[in-house]
């Protein structure tokens, strides 16, 4: 049997307020196979976003191992993690997190600036990514000139432009109306089916979770 | 690398804070540049007063012509030195001059100030070819006629062509105004030395000036003077002599001016720091996003330092541009070495431009460093939670 793309082994995470330890995740273990579309669900404060942050390498576990694409990121330094993220992870945020002073094209181009690519290569990739999300005609628009749904699609284009190993989305429909949310979920499904992208999505929305292949529930820092 | 357009657009996006910070840095750079231009203007004016192949001789240990006394016999001996170049008339290019300070009334405020009167010979003009009669004519030797430097003519009563001015118990008629090409001679009044010595009852000269056949023969002149016990004199290249005249005043301007600028610069640095801290606070989420995309701490540090650099450079350029207009302003001050009024212009030169820009950039760096470090040290998870 092929090795899972993501292996979570006994991962725990605690935060400290003064000297008081606040456990957020307790001894979590599970695998995510390649090509999976997983929805992480659970009530607020259950540790969904924390788990997503650990898998994406923007935070580090207090204990346990996290092997993603064959590398144990729990043991990486911050510098190594930054480089690893740029190569393997595409992130989609609830509030899009686009840089307001950059155009849609420039926002999508950002992750490519960490690669040694010619300007022409970057342009080609950005145009492809924006075409996939259906915004080929809005490349020169600034975020303020786009609707919420369009902004989120730009954010998805930014997440896929480097062709990452893993696409991680934190409440991608949380700030959108019903129609836009539906469009975004359709787009993520398409990325999973047509482009075989492995997706881990945190959501509160059961309709969004329906698009996923599997659902895992977290409660009080443990897998339910 | 985070694109430079991100920095430029953020600077222009926050117009009010950026403009105020740029203005603050610009103001300090303006003052700093003005001080350097002032000091350089004074120095350049006095250096321009000398010619490369002219040598000034004054009494040994005298710092300037004001305290120098040279006997006629001593002048006669020096005038025979073979190193002296001959003029077109085959006579030595050598002049003995008298230097006297008088008090004249200013045109604009009725206040008085010390003005240099120089008794000169027929060779004085020939040895300083940059000096030209601008208006009127040369004085007639043996008469109470004088010519005034253009700065003196403009600023003191009785010094325009046709007017009379009283000093040395005589009334002197101004028959000409001369242009000394921005040198210290512009701030002098010239007349026949014999008439001046008689009027001031001074039977001695203040200085001797000779033009050398070859500037390298200064050593020969020096050794000739030192070898003759009758000559308790000292020879200096004219440029060096006048440059030394600027030292005390230039140093005073520099010390006071730069001290003021350093105090001002604290204000500008704090201003830049507040602006950059505000930028970091307003863009915490963007910093988190950039870091989550894979940009390193160093990339964030560099971006915010670059923003501070752009703001300070803009301030520097604006301050420098504003100060450059001071070139058209003529100011006057008392030369601390001669106690006479000296008019000069603010002058902008390469080192001043470089110093002003470096000063601005250093202010930007000092103001931007701590906020940039703060930006680079933000935890990604915390910054993504920022609103």
Helix axes B297-324, B350-377, angle to 10 degrees: 150
The answer to whether residue A41 is domain-embedded is yes
What pLDDT score was predicted for residue B250?
A: 82
Q: How far is it, in rounded angstroms, from Cα A99 to Cα B165?
A: 74
Alpha-carbon distance B326 to B24, whole Å?
19
How distant is the Cα of B271 from the closest Cα of chain A, in angstroms? Answer: 23
Mean pLDDT of B327-353: 83
Query: Can you tell me the mean pLDDT for A193-220?
Result: 92
CA distance A28 to B36: 68
CB pairs under 8 A between A and B: 62
Q: Which residues of A43-119 form beta strands (DSSP E)? A: 63-68, 71-72, 89-92
For residues B117-136, average pLDDT: 91
Q: What pLDDT sits at residue B381?
A: 92
Q: Which of B6, B292, B296 sits opposite A91 (nearest CB)?
A: B292
B250/A133 Cα distance (integer angstroms): 68
Taking residues B280-291, report their average pLDDT: 95
pLDDT band for position B280 (50/70/90)? very high
* Mean pLDDT score, B127-152: 92
Query: Which string of b and e fits B324-338 if b means at least 16 CB within 10 Å?
Result: bebeeebeeeebebb
B74 band by pLDDT with thresholds 50, 70 and 90: very high
Q: Which domain holds residue A123?
A: 34-59+82-223
Q: What is the ipTM of this complex?
A: 0.94
Question: CA–CA distance from B324 to each of B43, B256, B315, B357 (Å)?
Answer: 17, 21, 14, 13
Worst-scoring range by mean pLDDT, A8-17, A191-200, B105-114? B105-114
Residues of A in Cβ contact (< 8 Å) with B13: 100-101
Instruction: Examine residue A163 and state whether it is found in any structural domain, yes or no.
Output: yes
pLDDT digit string (tens) for A42-73?
Answer: 998 899 999 999 999 999 999 999 999 889 99
Per-residue pLDDT, B226: 85
First-to-last alpha carbon distance for chain A, in angstroms, is: 26
Q: Is residue A20 part of a domain?
A: no
Nearest CA in chain A to B9: A101
- Hey, which residues does B97 pair with through a beta bridge? B207
How high does pLDDT run on average in chain A?
93
Nearest-neighbour CA in chain B from A212: distance (Å): 24
Beta strand residue intervals within chain B, DSSP E: 54-59, 94-105, 112-120, 132-136, 145-149, 164-167, 170-179, 188-192, 207-211, 233-237, 330-334, 341-345
Interface of A with B (CB under 8 A): 53, 56, 58-59, 78-79, 82-83, 85-87, 91, 93, 97, 99-102, 106, 110-111, 113-114, 158
Q: How far apart are CA A59 and CA A74, in angstroms?
A: 9
Asked if residues B312 and B25 have their Cβ atoms less than 8 Å apart, the reply is: yes
**Does residue A2 register a pLDDT over 70?**
no
| Cα three-residue angle B337-B343-B348, rounded to 5 degrees | 100
A24 located within any domain: no
Work out the percent of chain B whose per-residue pLDDT is above 90.
Answer: 62
In a domain, A54, yes or no: yes
CB-CB neighbors (< 8 A) of A114 in chain B: 293-295
- Taking Cα atoms as reference points, which of A212, A223, A221, A219 lies closest to residue A38? A212
Number of domains in chain A: 1
Q: Where exactly are the structural domains of chain B?
A: 4-47+245-385, 61-231
Q: At residue B378, does pLDDT exceed 60?
A: yes
Q: What percent of chain A has pLDDT over 70?
A: 99
CATH of the domain at A87: 3.40.50.300
pLDDT digits (tens, 9 = 90+) for B38-58: 888 888 887 777 788 899 999
Burial category of A184 from C-beta neighbours within 10 Å (exposed 0-12, middle 13-18, buried 19 and up): buried
**Closest B-chain CA to A170:** B384
| pLDDT value, residue A59 | 93
DSSP B149-163: EHHHHHHBTT-STT-
Q: Average pLDDT for residues B196-218, to the nearest whole number?
A: 91
**Encoded tokens for B88:** 């077109």
For A90-120, what is each residue's pLDDT tens digit?
Answer: 999 999 999 999 999 999 999 999 999 999 9
Is pLDDT at A1 greater than 60 in this prediction? no
Of the candidates A59, A102, A111, the beta carbon closest to that of B6 is on A102
């Amino acid at each position: 049997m092929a090795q899972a793309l993501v292996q979570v082994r006994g991962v725990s995470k605690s935060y400290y307020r003064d000297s008081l330890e606040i456990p957020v995740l307790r001894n979590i273990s599970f695998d995510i196979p390649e090509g999976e579309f997983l929805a992480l669900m659970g009530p607020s404060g259950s540790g969904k976003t924390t788990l997503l942050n650990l898998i994406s390498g923007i935070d580090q576990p207090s204990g346990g191992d996290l092997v993603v694409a064959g590398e144990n990121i729990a043991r990486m330094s911050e510098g190594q993690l930054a480089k690893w993220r740029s190569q393997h992870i595409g992130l989609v945020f609830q509030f899009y997190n686009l840089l307001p002073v950059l155009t849609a094209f420039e926002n999508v181009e950002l992750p490519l600036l960490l690669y040694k690519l010619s300007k022409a290569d970057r342009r080609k990739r950005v145009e492809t990514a924006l075409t996939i999300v259906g915004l080929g005609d809005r490349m020169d628009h600034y975020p303020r000139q786009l609707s919420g749904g369009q902004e989120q699609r730009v954010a998805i284009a930014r997440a896929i432009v480097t062709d990452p190993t893993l696409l991680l989305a934190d409440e991608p429909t949380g700030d959108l109306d019903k129609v836009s949310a539906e469009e975004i979920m359709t787009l993520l499904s398409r990325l999973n089916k047509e482009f075989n992208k492995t997706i881990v999505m945190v959501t509160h929305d059961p309709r969004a979770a329906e698009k996923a292949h599997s659902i895992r529930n977290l409660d009080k820092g443990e897998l339910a | 690398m985070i694109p430079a357009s991100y920095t430029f657009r953020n600077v222009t996006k926050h117009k009010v804070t950026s403009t105020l910070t740029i203005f603050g840095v610009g103001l300090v750079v303006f003052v700093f540049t003005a001080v350097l231009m002032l000091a350089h203007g004074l120095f350049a004016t006095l250096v321009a007063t000398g010619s490369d192949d002219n040598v000034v001789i004054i009494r040994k240990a005298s710092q300037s012509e004001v305290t120098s006394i040279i006997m006629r016999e001593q002048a006669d001996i020096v005038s025979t030195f073979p190193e002296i170049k001959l003029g077109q008339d085959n006579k030595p290019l050598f002049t003995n001059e008298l230097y006297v300070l008088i008090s004249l009334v200013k045109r604009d405020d009725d206040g008085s100030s010390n003005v240099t009167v120089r008794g000169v010979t027929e060779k004085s003009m020939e040895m300083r070819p940059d000096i030209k009669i601008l208006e009127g004519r040369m004085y007639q030797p043996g008469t109470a006629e004088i010519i005034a430097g253009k700065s003196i003519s403009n600023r003191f009563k009785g010094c325009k062509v046709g007017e009379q001015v009283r000093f040395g118990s005589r009334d002197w008629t101004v028959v000409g105004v001369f242009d000394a090409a921005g040198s210290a001679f512009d701030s002098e009044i010239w007349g026949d030395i014999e008439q001046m010595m008689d009027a001031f009852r001074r039977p001695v000269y203040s200085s001797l000036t000779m033009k050398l056949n070859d500037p390298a023969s200064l050593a020969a002149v020096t050794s000739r003077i030192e070898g003759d016990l009758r000559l308790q004199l000292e020879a200096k290249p004219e440029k060096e002599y006048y440059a030394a005249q600027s030292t005390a005043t230039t140093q005073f301007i520099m010390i006071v001016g730069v001290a003021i600028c350093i105090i001002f610069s604290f204000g500008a640095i704090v201003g830049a720091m507040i602006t950059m801290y505000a930028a970091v606070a307003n863009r915490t989420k963007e910093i988190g996003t950039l870091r989550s995309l894979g940009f390193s701490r160093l990339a964030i540090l560099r971006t915010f330092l670059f923003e501070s650099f752009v703001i300070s450079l803009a301030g520097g350029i604006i301050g420098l541009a504003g100060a450059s207009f001071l070139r058209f302003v003529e100011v006057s001050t008392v030369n601390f070495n001669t106690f006479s009024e000296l008019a000069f212009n603010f002058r902008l030169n390469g080192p001043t431009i470089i110093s002003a820009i470096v000063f601005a950039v250093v202010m930007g760096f000092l103001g931007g460093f701590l906020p940039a470090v703060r930006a680079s040290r933000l935890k990604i998870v915390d910054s993504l939670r920022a609103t």
